[in-house]
Amino acid sequence: MTRTKQTAKKSNGGSAPRVSLQVDTASAPAEENSTSDGRINRGDDKMEIDEMDDHNGFCIICRDGAESCEDNTLYLCDFCPRVTCRLCMEIPPGLDDAILEDNVTFICICCHISRQQHGKDRSPYYGFYHDGQPVSTFLRIKSTFEISMSSQLSAAPIIMIHLVLVDFEASSGSPFRFAYEYLRPYFPDGGIEYREIFYDIGSNAKALRYRASMRPLIKELKKQCVSDRIVFAISTHTD
């Protein structure tokens, strides 16, 4: 069964609890090539559906979730963490209930294109499959896809630490700070932190003072850190 969840536009803050529906793994499109008429050829090995609980919180196409309404449905891809919102797809009339039936799986446009690039045959993007067969006609994407096919909009907690050499002019901003400001709206419930640390380790004495000053920060981050990812950037006088 196609899995969905409700989410609000990122500027509205927060996401509603997702609704995970049971998926029949036998009905999913296999990793083998699709035929020109859209059917999925199954081989001896079937691709496992990744039963992930960490699907992305925002649509991979519009990178949001609701341009014209407060709430919007996100369809969870059964083969990767990406999601696609209802507003970015032109689902044929009368199929809203059919695509939520048992044995219906959803494949995002990124996974579809990846399979096309690694396969011999080409087929339109159908999106929804029932027992390996397209549910209906091809699925039209209404928005412009502007990021890499390998991209994800992961909202997994992250800490960004910017090490800045003393006397380095950073008042006009830095690419690392810009990246943080760009990513912050994608964490409406928190989960992203930015720390700017000035350092000078030009001598042993300065290095010891720097190490001592970092101990309280490290302890603080360890207490509150639930992040799987820590990203460091270093700014110096060099290009």
pLDDT tens across 156-196, in order?
888 898 888 876 665 556 888 899 998 888 887 788 889 88
Q: Does 34 share its domain with 137?
A: yes
List phi, psi (to 5°) of 52: -90, 145
The boundaries of the domain holding residue 119 are: 3-141
Q: Does 77 share its domain with 132?
A: yes
Contact 2, 100 (CB under 8 A): yes
- Say if residue 10's pLDDT is above 60: no
Question: Taking Cα atoms as reference points, which of 134, 107, 125, 126 lies closest to residue 2?
Answer: 107
Cα–Cα distance, 17 to 4 (Å, whole number) = 10
Question: Taking Cα atoms as reference points, which of 222, 35, 21, 3 lies closest to residue 128?
Answer: 3
Global pTM exceeds 0.75: no
Residues forming a β-bridge with 194: 160
- Summarize pLDDT for 44-102 with one digit per residue, the tens: 333 344 444 578 888 888 887 554 455 678 889 999 999 998 888 888 888 888 888 87
Residue 146 lies in a domain: no
Cα–Cα distance, 82 to 55 (Å, whole number) = 6
Q: Which of 106, 141, 176 is the last residue of a domain?
A: 141
Residue 147 lies in a domain: no
Structure token digits, residue 129: 């499959």
Instruction: Tally the residues of the chain.
Output: 239
Q: How many domains does the chain have?
A: 2
Q: How many CB atoms lie within 10 A of CB 166?
A: 11
